Structure 1
């Protein structure tokens, strides 16, 4: 690979980063309020999780079908869960900034983080409401009876509550159950990638299976009859045609038959003026 080619490629990358940064900064200058609110709410969510830790009381582990089907990893292999979450988190963050370098641009980084933070805030607000409404004994090892981290001592000052120790304050929390914060992040990240990513294997496989097994949805603009099978539509059209004939006074047996009209007890038939006197009893 020649130095000229490397210099040319580097120049293209620099120009692309510069142009993308200029465009993103322009969007950021208009959309920064919601981004800032979402970041601030992440801190509020951390404070809420730390606050419920003060209320946590260890107790017997509750029965859970998930743990019966998938046994726990064990205390010595607890790092696997955090490692997997960290990998997914960092991969997603790097992916959201790939338009600065790669040419396959499907979104603006500022706008996609606005949507991600909006979903995170809504989900975390529901999570805060649930774990303050129902406080369950934590099943993790550091939340069980006998662990020094199962209960937090009463705070001595406001700074002790407002300052969140990272990462121990996030990893070793207790009482913030009902649904997991890690799962919220993973679901939001995965769904966002499935919607805006360029390679979506899982969703493509599901769509292929559904399209293979189920028929395509009909277009409702043509009315209800377009949604019916062919035999039903034929039968329905025949019924409509027969009803039209009856309304017009025509039947299938005699198409040239004219409607009858009754006037003052006398009948006029087939357009003739021959009158038939009604019989009175």
Structure 2
């Protein structure tokens, strides 16, 4: 009975989410379709620059000097890590269909993701067609049969991307990595819309523990220590009192509570009254003289 009840709840949840997402898809399908089409255009551009690639000597790079190569027999590790990130993000983006901790709509999420991917990939296409570098990967080096592609026999051969060989063994598109674009966009999206941001929380915890709390400067307190007496001979107590009055005036200015004409008039009247009282008291206390 418990399984049947939970299965019924899950089916209602999936049905409700599917209905809501389909309504959004009918409204926002144009940009989603444009983003998917551009992924194909990006693949064609990467294949086109492979025709122009010419192997050459490896360029000096500090990254390769700092991090040793994995080796040709361990090249699958990079693709395995990227595949895990890609599939994990894909599954996570559809979790609102099952879980109740809903923070976004899947259609709107992928709409934003594809928009970022299109902008980044457009810049990538411009860069690797503007500057063509010899690929450092093993299949792009001199002596490899995959370093250059033979001229196409017809247009259909260019338009048909050989997957996954054309994706995994591309050369010439190396100004910045397509894998890195996807990874950064996925991680940034999860950081913004995810609920369990373990990596970021660990970094914040480490920084909070290792670095002292920053002083609050909104109250106008001085950041440098104050000696017991300043150059005018005022003590700390007098300076704190003066700083308190200045802080009050500062908050009044920030809040827009400036002294208007009515308050000024009342203060003048108060001062005048005190002055009259003081003059009367002085005149009463002064002997008339006989």
TM-score by length of 1: 0.77
Structure 2 residue aligned with 1:87: 84
Question: Per the alignment, in what secondary structure is the counterpart of residue 172 of structure 2?
Answer: coil
CA contact 2:49–2:129 (8 Å) conserved in 1? yes
Relative distance call for 1:15 and 1:235 in structure 2 (3 A) is: closer
Map 1:1-281 → 2, pairs under 5 A = 4-211=1-208, 213-215=212-214, 226-229=219-222, 234-235=242-243, 237=245
CA contact 2:220–2:247 (8 Å) conserved in 1? no
TM-fit CA distance, 1:183:
0.5
For 1:5 and 1:30, how far apart are their aligned partners in 2?
Answer: 38
For 1:237 and 1:179, how far apart are their aligned partners in 2?
Answer: 57
Relative distance call for 1:149 and 1:206 in structure 2 (3 A) is: same
For 2:121 and 2:13, how far apart are their aligned partners in 1?
Answer: 36
Unaligned runs of 5+ in 1: 220-225, 242-255, 257-281
For 1:214 and 1:118, how far apart are their aligned partners in 2?
Answer: 38
Structure 2 residue aligned with 1:271: none
Relative distance call for 1:154 and 1:216 in structure 2 (3 A) is: farther
- The structure 1 segments of at least 4 consecutive aligned residues displaced by more than 6 Å after TM superposition are 230-233, 238-241
Deviations 1:124-148 (A, max 9, x none): 1111111111100000000001111
TM-fit CA distance, 1:75:
0.6
CA contact 2:35–2:114 (8 Å) conserved in 1? yes
TM-fit CA distance, 1:214:
4.2
TM-fit CA distance, 1:156:
1.2
Question: Per the alignment, in what secondary structure is the counterpart of residue 199 of structure 2?
Answer: helix
TM-fit CA distance, 1:67:
1.1
CA contact 2:141–2:147 (8 Å) conserved in 1? yes
For 2:93 and 2:10, how far apart are their aligned partners in 1?
Answer: 17
For 2:29 and 2:246, how far apart are their aligned partners in 1?
Answer: 63
TM-fit CA distance, 1:210:
4.6
TM-fit CA distance, 1:201:
1.4
TM-score by length of 2: 0.75
For 2:64 and 2:174, how far apart are their aligned partners in 1?
Answer: 15
For 2:99 and 2:78, how far apart are their aligned partners in 1?
Answer: 31
TM-fit CA distance, 1:5:
1.1
Relative contact order, higher structure (CA 8 A, sep 6+) = 2
